[in-house]
Chains A and B, each alone.
Chain A
Amino acid sequence: MTLPLMLVAEDFTAPGPSIFDFPPLWDGAPSWLTKPVLMAIFGAIVVCALAWSAFANPKLVPRGMQNIGEMGYQFVRDQVARPFLGKDAERWMPLLLSLFFLILLWNLFGVVPLIQIPVASHIAFPAVLAALIYIIKIYLGIKHQGFVGYFKNMMFPAGLPKPIYVLLAPIEFLSNLIIAPFTHAVRLFANMFAGHLILAFFSAVGFWFLFEKLTPLGSGLGVLGVIMTIAMTGFEMFIEFLQAFLFTMLAAMYIGGSLHPDH
């Protein structure tokens, strides 16, 4: 940074992780009743309401909301369920569709004015969902391949020279049982966390240099902050969709892998 800009930016503090800390909604409210908690519940209600308006009474010839709902359903079925679950796709659609819709809406809350908090930027929410998938994955794996078979298929895939297993077995064990659920949750969390931080940063820049401390030199920076906020909001919407898709896709992949280890 050049010297004049440093002078201008002297008092500006960039938003940090503290922006993710929320107090109880009002004084005297229970300590757990924070904005993210409220939004998590609100998101669940909105998902149920939208899905209800689309699918409660589905018609052979779709109209209105049903068209939109079917777009979502077919996206999950054709892009997520079928590639990884094949003929079991229909059976797992309830889980995958619920996951996708809920995560998508939770994520999109990040760019909805006044709400402006991606629910998954609090790690507890992705962690719960990842844990659920992790439990289902292990349960299905043991059920369909047997206890020994599950670990054998996981750690000792057939057709490799024997010494390789010395390396491969611990790596596979680690990646499948310890790293996979962690990355599953953290991938979603970190994307939402970072995206929200970026948006907060650019909007803070715009607000600070155009309203709090309007100076001829700083105004250019403020305008840039506003432009970047708009551009990043568009980009964030894409990321929010992509991460909902990815989380659901990984869930389908884990379930498919437990059902059919040879794939």
Chain B
Amino acid sequence: MTMAATLLAAEGENPLIPHAYELVVGSFAFLVVFLVVGKILTPRIQKTLAERTEAIEGGIKKAEDAQAEAQRTLEQYRAQLAEARQEAARLREEAREQGAQIKAELREEAQAEARRIIEAAHAQIEADRQQALNQLRGEIGRLATELASRIVGESLEDEVRQRRIVDRFLEELEARPEAVR
């Protein structure tokens, strides 16, 4: 024993020497705490903390997934929209082309029709004219023949008048000598 220890011993008990009963009580106290706090309660809080971590991570994951999903949908919609726009533009272009084509075809057709009508009209006119001409020619022949027969018929009855006609004709001829020459 050092001097300090003997001094301490003189004043009271040596604080470095444990009391046996305190060893027992200390062990017992710790055992109780270990059973209650360590064995019963710590697993509960560990479980809760793990669940909380999971819940937070799960929440974050869920939010990320939702965001990714939304992003994907948006992309999809955008792609669809662009496609639709393109499609619309293509259709418009096609319609315009078709329209133009139809217009051209119609015009062509109309012109052809017009030409056809005009030709038909021309042919009709020509035919009518021919017919009229033929009719006229026949009429003129008949009238001429009739006139000639009348003239011949009357010539015997009206010799004097005929003579007069002939005479007048001859006088007219004489009045315009230059026309004869």
Residues of A within 8 A of B (CB): 16-18, 20-21, 31-32, 36-37, 40-41, 43-45, 47-48, 51-52, 54-60, 69-70, 73, 90, 93-95, 97-99, 101-102, 121-125, 127-129, 132, 189, 193
Q: What is the chain A residue whose CB lies nearest that of B27?
A: A128
Query: In the complex, what distance in Å separates the CA atom of A188 from the CA atom of B63?
Result: 49
* Chain B, 1-34, CB within 8 A of any chain A CB: 8, 11-13, 15-23, 25-30, 32-34
Q: Which one of B45-53, B78-86, B149-157, B159-167 contacts A?
A: B45-53
| 9 tightest A-B CB contacts, nearest first | A94-B38, A124-B22, A124-B18, A32-B21, A58-B48, A44-B29, A128-B26, A18-B12, A55-B41
B44 pairs with A98, CB closer than 8 A: no
Residue pair B46, A93 in contact (C-beta under 8 Å): yes
Residue of A nearest to B21 (CB): A32
Please measure, in the bound complex, the distance between the C-alpha atom of A125 and the C-alpha atom of B23, giving whole angstroms.
6
A61 to nearest B CB, angstroms?
8
Closest approach, in angstroms, between the C-beta of A145 and any C-beta of chain B? 25
Residues of B within 8 A of A (CB): 8, 11-13, 15-23, 25-30, 32-34, 36-39, 41-49, 51-52, 55
Among B30, B43, B45, B48, chain A packs the most CB atoms within 10 A around the CB of B45
Residues of B within 8 A of A70 (CB): 45, 49
Taking the closest CB of chain A, its distance from the CB of B3, in whole angstroms, is: 14
Contact B32 A44, beta carbon cutoff 8 Å? yes
Give the CA-CA distance A18 to B19 in the complex, in Å.
Answer: 15
* B contact patch SS: helix
Between A and B, 25 residue pairs with Cβ closer than 8 Å are A17-B12, A18-B12, A21-B13, A40-B29, A47-B37, A48-B37, A55-B45, A57-B44, A60-B52, A94-B42, A95-B38, A97-B37, A98-B30, A98-B33, A98-B34, A99-B30, A101-B33, A102-B29, A122-B15, A122-B22, A124-B18, A124-B23, A127-B23, A128-B23, A132-B30
Chain B residues lying within 8 Å of A129, measured Cβ to Cβ, are 26, 30
User: A20, A51, A93: which contacts B36 (Cβ < 8 A)?
Assistant: A51
Known: A55-B44, A56-B44, A124-B19. A41 touches B25 (CB 8 A): yes
A16 to chain B: which residues have CB within 8 Å? 11-12
Q: Tell me whether A43 and B29 are in contact (CB under 8 A).
A: yes
Q: Are B45 and A48 touching (Cβ within 8 A)?
A: no
On chain A, the residues within 8 Å of B46 by CB distance are 90, 93
Docked complex Cα distance between A124 and B39 (Å)? 24
The distance in angstroms between the C-alpha atoms of A56 and B34, with both chains bound, is 15
B residues in contact with A43, CB < 8 Å: 29
**CB atoms of B18 and A56 under 8 A apart:** no
Chain A residues whose C-beta falls within 8 Å of the C-beta of B18 in the assembled complex: 122-124, 127
Q: Which interface residue of B28, B29, B44 has the most chain A CB atoms within 10 A? A: B29
Cβ–Cβ contact B48 & A48, under 8 A: no
CB atoms of A97 and B13 under 8 A apart: no
Complex Cα distance A241/B12, Å?
29
CB < 8 Å: which of A41, A58, A189 contacts B45? A58
- Within 8 Å CB of B44, what residues of A? 55-58
Is B29 touching A36 in the complex (CB atoms < 8 A)?
no
B-chain residues with CB within 8 Å of residue A94 when the two chains form the complex:
34, 37-39, 42-43
B55 contacts A60, C-beta separation under 8 Å: yes
In the bound complex, how far is the Cα of B47 from the Cα of A145, in angstroms? 31
Q: Are A102 and B19 also in contact (CB < 8 A) when A41-B25, A60-B51, A128-B27 are?
A: no
Docked Cα-Cα span, A222 to B65, in Å, equals 70
